[in-house]
Chains A and B, each alone.
Chain A
Amino acid sequence: EDQVTQSPEALRLQEGESSSLNCSYTVSGLRGLFWYRQDPGKGPEFLFTLYSAGEEKEKERLKATLTKKESFLHITAPKPEDSATYLCAVQPLKGGTSYGKLTFGQGTILTVHP
């Protein structure tokens, strides 16, 4: 059974204070690892997909990295507008209709204070 665990559950930062969010996963075969951002009362918004260990992707103040067991979302010099819940999800390598079966972690609630 695929499992995803995110830590910490909640993270409070001062504006400009860099930090990292962790996503640990177990999956029989990983096709892709996804990061989403979710604002209160809204649906998740896609950020990144990582496919293989060593891969990195960046978007503004966010950088996602991937190893064989975990992924990190690094936030550099965060701003209050980066406050949101960040979700991690894994997609199995199984073919056919199983491609879309994402298993999500419970999320990390990030609060950035001005």
Chain B
Amino acid sequence: NAGVTQTPKFQVLKTGQSMTLQCAQDMNHEYMSWYRQDPGMGLRLIHYSVGAGITDQGEVPNGYNVSRSTTEDFPLRLLSAAPSQTSVYFCASSYGTGQDEQYFGPGTRLTVT
């Protein structure tokens, strides 16, 4: 099993550009989530999904969109990138509704100039 995979590993965007961060898992997990990690702030939940077709907002959802058309994939879209979105983004997945341990991907480091 590859576990949780994320692409790209690094990305530089200009303010106003859009892009999609990809996340996939091969463990048949129902629960998937996106976090951002900033120095001194810990990991903060952006959006999460408890199954295909079901998504909800986390702590810091503004500026991000998600959709879940399959169990395996959970892409994160930045509609109009801003410097405040410079961060490291992690995707995670878990069994059931997320009450068990979450498995994290390797992360995407995004810089917005």
Q: List the interface of chain A (C-beta within 8 A of B).
A: 4, 31-32, 34, 36, 41-46, 49, 87, 89, 91, 96-97, 99-107
Contacts and interface: CB of A to CB of B under 8 A. Distances in A.
Most buried by B among A34, A36, A87, A106: A106
Contacts of A45: 104
Interface residues of B, number: 31
A16 B35 CA distance: 34
A102 B40 contact: no
Interface string B16-43: 0000000000000001010100001111
A97 B90 CA distance: 20
A106 B102 contact: no
B73 to A, nearest CB: 17
Given A44-B90, A104-B43, A106-B41, A99 B98 contact: yes
Contacts, number: 68
Contacts of A101: 45, 48, 58-59, 98
B42 A43 contact: no
Most buried by A among B41, B43, B101: B43
B44 to A, nearest CB: 7
A100 B107 contact: no
Given A100-B33, A100-B94, A107-B42, A46 B101 contact: yes
Given A43-B107, A46-B101, A100-B31, A106 B40 contact: yes
A87 B37 CA distance: 12
Most buried by B among A49, A87, A104: A104
B104 A106 contact: no
6 contacts: A43-B104, A46-B103, A49-B100, A100-B98, A106-B42, A107-B42
Nearest to B109: A41
Contacts of B99: 31-32, 91, 99-100
B81 to A, nearest CB: 22
A32 B94 CA distance: 14
